[in-house]
Amino acid sequence: MLEDLLEWSRTQIGGNTLQAQAVPIAPVVERCVAAAAEMAAARKVTLTAEDIPSSFAALADERAMRVMLRNLIGNALKFTREGGEVRIGASQANGELILSVRDSGTGIPENKLHQLLSRGAAASTRGVRGETGTGFGLSMCKDILARFDGRLTATSVVGEGSEFQLHLPRGEPERPALH
């Protein structure tokens, strides 16, 4: 998370620019799941990714995609109890690539979910193991998404879990040259 915050802060002060290009989603998801596998195992939470077609791509910045996805996976793990599940998936609709992180965690009351999605203010909540956070993760995701004409949506049921979705414009993956 610290690495992600540093990366985001560099974009805020102009040190790093975000480059919009077609980013194949499957390799990004694979890297982020692999990076979080140890944390998931230590928490005894199953972390899986659905099969994502190689043709799925988003018009975004690859580093920024990893930052957002790692943040959502980290949040899902933070609020999922031992024996629970976190699942990453992707779909396409209406010119968008939709990357989802779904968990079987504690869920979020509707009024708090609305606050998380509508306000830019940071708010941190303790996880199921007493973990603390910075409260900046979702604000960071929203800021990055805005730079690519994307958006963040979420649904949640208290006691059943949550699903957060990154909506980004679809990109066309590069095709190998035919010889």
- In this prediction, residue 114 has a pLDDT band, given cuts at 50, 70 and 90, of confident
Return all residues near 143 (Cβ < 8 A) that are at least 6 apart: 8, 12
pLDDT at 11 over 70: no
Mean pLDDT on 157-177? 85
Using CA atoms, how far apart are residues 137 and 114, in angstroms rounded to an integer? Answer: 16
Q: Is residue 38 helix, strand or coil?
A: helix
Q: Where are the domains of the chain?
A: 2-169
Mean pLDDT on 18-42? 93
The pLDDT assigned to 13 comes to 41
Mean pLDDT on 21-43? 95
Least confident of 58-62, 135-139, 161-165: 135-139
The pLDDT assigned to 92 comes to 95
Mean pLDDT on 72-93? 95
Highest CATH level, class, for 2-169: alpha beta
Q: Please, what is the average pLDDT of the chain? A: 84
129 or 92, higher pLDDT: 92
Mean pLDDT on 46-70? 94
What is the model's pTM? Answer: 0.84
The pLDDT assigned to 154 comes to 95
Mean pLDDT on 156-167? 95
| 152-156: long-range contacts, CB 8 A cutoff, minimum separation 24 | 152/117, 153/117, 154/108, 154/113, 154/116, 154/117, 155/113, 156/107, 156/108, 156/110, 156/113
